């Protein structure tokens, strides 16, 4: 590929997640306004607002270590945004938060969507573990102004 061109994979949930929703709910929880201070103190850049709802995450020792939220939201679908602090990666926290977020989106009657850069193997592995499968691929070609 040429310079600046990126490829993205768009996925939707088509399989059961590797972690059951009940187990995910034991590890992660929905975030509310009561979590605002903890999120501000965390290394995760997120805000609790209607446009990013639902927000689900994992708190360990008072620290927010993982957060799944809607990075884009329409009347029909929500796209996942997920972040885990570096020292808590590979602990299953992102999977628990993603499964809980997916259940919350489905409960709203919306379609949960996951997207990741094709080169982001860790994100694609998380998507697969959460039951998401490829729906489409896209290439982004920068314009002259970029």
Number of separate domains in the chain: 1
We report the CATH number of the domain holding residue 74 as 3.40.630.30
- Residue 74: pLDDT over 60: yes
User: Is 1 domain-assigned?
Assistant: no
What pLDDT does residue 107 have?
97
The CA-based diameter of the chain, rounded to the nearest angstrom, is 49
User: Is 103 domain-assigned?
Assistant: yes
User: Is 146 domain-assigned?
Assistant: no
User: Is 130 domain-assigned?
Assistant: yes
- Residue 46: pLDDT over 70: no
Average pLDDT value for the chain: 90
What pLDDT does residue 47 have?
67
Domain that holds residue 61: 6-140
Give the three-state DSSP class for 29: strand
What pLDDT does residue 38 have?
79
Exposed (0-12), middle (13-18) or buried (19+): which is 16, by Cβ within 10 Å? exposed
Q: What is the pLDDT of residues 81-106, one digit of tens each?
A: 999 999 999 999 999 999 999 999 99
- Residue 146: pLDDT over 80: no
């Amino acid at each position: 590929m040429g310079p600046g061109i990126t490829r993205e994979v768009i996925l939707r949930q088509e399989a059961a997640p590797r972690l059951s929703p009940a187990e995910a709910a034991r590890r992660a929880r929905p975030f509310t306004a009561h979590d605002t201070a903890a999120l501000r103190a965390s290394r995760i850049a997120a805000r609790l607002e209607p446009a990013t709802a639902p927000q689900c995450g994992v708190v360990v020792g008072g620290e927010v270590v993982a957060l799944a939220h809607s990075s884009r939201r329409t009347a029909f679908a929500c796209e996942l945004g997920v972040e885990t602090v570096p020292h808590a990666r590979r602990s299953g926290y992102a999977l628990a938060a993603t499964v809980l977020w997916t259940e919350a989106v489905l409960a709203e009657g919306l379609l949960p969507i996951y997207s990741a850069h094709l080169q982001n193997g860790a994100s694609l592995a998380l998507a697969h573990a959460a039951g998401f499968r490829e729906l489409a691929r896209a290439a982004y070609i920068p314009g002259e102004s970029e």
